[in-house]
Amino acid sequence: MTDALYNDDIDLSPIFDLKLALVGYGNHGRSHALCLRDSGARNIRIALRPGSPSRAKAEADGFEVVTLAEAAGWADAVALLAADEAHRQIWDTEIAPNRKPGQALIVCHGFSVHYDLIKPPADCDVILAAAKGPGGAVRQEFEKGKGLIGFWAVHQDASGRAREIALAYLAGIGSGNVGIFPTTFREETVSDLFGEQVVLVGGMVALAKASFDRLVAAGVSERMAYIDCVHEIKYLADLIQSRGIAGMYKAISDTAEFGAREIEDRIAGPELRKVFDDAMVDIESDRFARKWVETYEAGEAMVADRDADEALKIEEAGRDLRSRLYGASK
């Protein structure tokens, strides 16, 4: 495995005088903008669509807000930090027709470049600067003097400086405090999509819903089923994050460990591996990416699914428990 690079290994000067436009001011955009400014980046503008609800927040944070077209004509580098599924529309309609020659493109996920949803011209540095974790955590860890582990890659190096820009950008958002590693656009994209689909989101939610339903069918109260199959996920996840899987097993009861080991191989049997294989085929091809972007561009993506989730018994039990524990209404 390649050794990590840290702040002492990295020259931050490539971002100091760069005219840098950040597209989007959600969790990633706001965190990146604030951290880069605190690290010494002097020329940052926030690019937003007209009427964006994020405009007031960006201006309150002291940033100049411009349109996407204005940003494309001004910036030396554009960091496209909007949602992956919006990249094609933003690039085709706003950035590509207005971009300054030689302008670099920075993305924090490889998705849109890896799947050829956007096609930068030959004069464009195409850079991946991925801090691995939620966007909001970038700022939270930076303020602690830490950061999220960073990964960089270069798809095109028109200027000869793409690597230096990538490393400086990641160091500027705090990753140089904990380690920056090389990757590829393909590796970052495939790993990110697979992990969130089969484990972190899709797999976890499927297990939680199915186990809740089975306990309730066995006569267990919805409150008890929710606590044991959903609420306590956080405690185990915290143990795994801080101690690893082996350390988690050492920290829980012997009864829990023995029962988990008895069933682990049965859960991860041939049927599950087939699901994983099918998911990987969809991700490795462009099937998943195209389907998702086309669904997004058609509008109203997942509205019905979200409404249906709100009506589930597992959600009712969760709202009730949270209201008792935290005084929350949702």
Is 109 assigned a catalytic role?
yes
- Segment holding 315, helix H or strand E: helix 313-326
DSSP 8-state symbol, 21: E
- Segment holding 7, helix H or strand E: none
Q: How far apart are CA 241 and CA 220, in angstroms?
A: 30
Angle, to 10 degrees, between the axis of helix 270-284 and the axis of helix 185-195?
Answer: 140
CB atoms within 10 A of CB 63: 20
3-state DSSP assignment of residue 48: coil
- Contact (CB, 8 A) for 244 and 236: no
Please provide residue 312's backbone torsions phi and psi, each rounded to the nearest 5 degrees.
Answer: -70, 150
| Residue 219 tokens, joined | 């006569």
| Residue 131 tokens, joined | 């801090």
Sequential DSSP letters for 221-252: -HHHHHIIIIITHHHHHHHHHHHHHHHHHHHS
* Active-site pick, 32, 109, 114, 155: 109
- Residue count of the chain, please give it: 330
- What residue type is assigned to position 215 of the chain? L
Positions marked active-site: 109
